[in-house]
Amino acid sequence: MSTVAVSVLPVASATADSEGASGDTWGVAPAKRAVDATDARLVELGDETEVIVVGGRVDQDELRTAIERNPGVRLVQLPSAGVDAYVETMEATAREGLVFTSAKGAYSAPVAEHALALTLATLRSLQIRARASSWEREQRGISLNGATVTIVGAGGIGTELLRLLRPFDVEVTMVRRTDEAVPGAHRTVTVDRLAEVLPTSDVVVVAAALTGGTRSLLGADEFAAMKRTAVLVNIARGPLVDTDALVTALAEGRIGAAGLDVVDPEPLPDGHPLWAEPRALITPHQANTNAMTEPLFQARVEANIVALAEGGDPEGVVDVEQGY
């Protein structure tokens, strides 16, 4: 296996002690551990660099310059599963022989687990119970067992959630870009048929990539089509859901509840109507914490360094034109 030269961004953090990594550079330490584990070489960004690993939040101009000024770079590893923040950079720097890889699929397990938690909580009205200050006599709650679930997005998170749902004997419809059947799902439909499946769904989970074509995928028309008892769970990207339409749908009781780990805008400002909405359960984009994702990111970096060294296929390759 040939030795691969790896540089880590942001540069200021790449040489820092791993224990000092901040929330914005959580991926630097695992990236360095991946280099050590694969016998690759950690080098300063320059002519030698073959792999750039983005270990957290990085200025897009810095990343673009790093790619453009170093033609030897053959692979850029991005730290997140969703790459919407990097689309312009990828489009501007795309060239023959350069591959962008994301962490798609790497974080599926913890995020799918969080989606299941939000699903169970909102079906059981825990968002209302948690705010209560006295014993309530009204009975609330819907069982997940035997329910009809629609998962929008058939990537790693969607398929992992499908696996987690098996013990509940649910009927699952997967909504994806193509009509290729998803093993384990009762049916698979394309995104343009979303309106057909919403009226019968007890739970709608959003696990799709954010692209120009999926922004505001669920809005006023979609909420109007849903059951008044249905719950919406979003663990993908906030802009996939029209926030204003969701606020109205919840306030007017058009849907039963919403479990949101992502929102638009994000962070959700203090005083936003969603904070006061009793049917909404909000977590601060922490379906996968740094502690959960560090070993998963390290494994992805290791796998792609080895793939590059041995002439194999990298994991998580991004289709730059599609944006995911």
* Active site members: 237, 266, 285
How far apart CA 314 and CA 8 sit, in angstroms, is: 18
- The DSSP output letter for 264 is S
Taking the C-alpha atoms of residue 211 and residue 63, their distance in angstroms, rounded to an integer, is 21
Question: What is the Cα gyration radius of the chain?
Answer: 21
Strand partners, 257: 231
Within 8 A by CB and 6+ apart from 143, the residues are: 123
How many CB atoms neighbour CB 324 within 10 A? 20
The 10 Å CB-count burial string (b at 16+, else e) for 224-262 is ebbbeebbbbbbbbbbbbbbebbbebbeeebbbbbbbbb
Contacts of 272 (CB under 8 A, 6+ apart): none
| Alpha-helical runs (H) found in 51-96 | 60-68, 87-93
CA distance readout (Å), 76 to 46, 72, 183, 219: 14, 11, 31, 35
Cβ-Cβ contacts under 8 Å for 24 (sequence gap 6 or more): 56, 57
- Evaluate the CA torsion angle 26, 63, 108, 212 in order and state its sign: positive
Contact assessment for residue 14 and residue 55, using Cβ atoms and an 8 Å cutoff: yes
Length of the chain equals 324
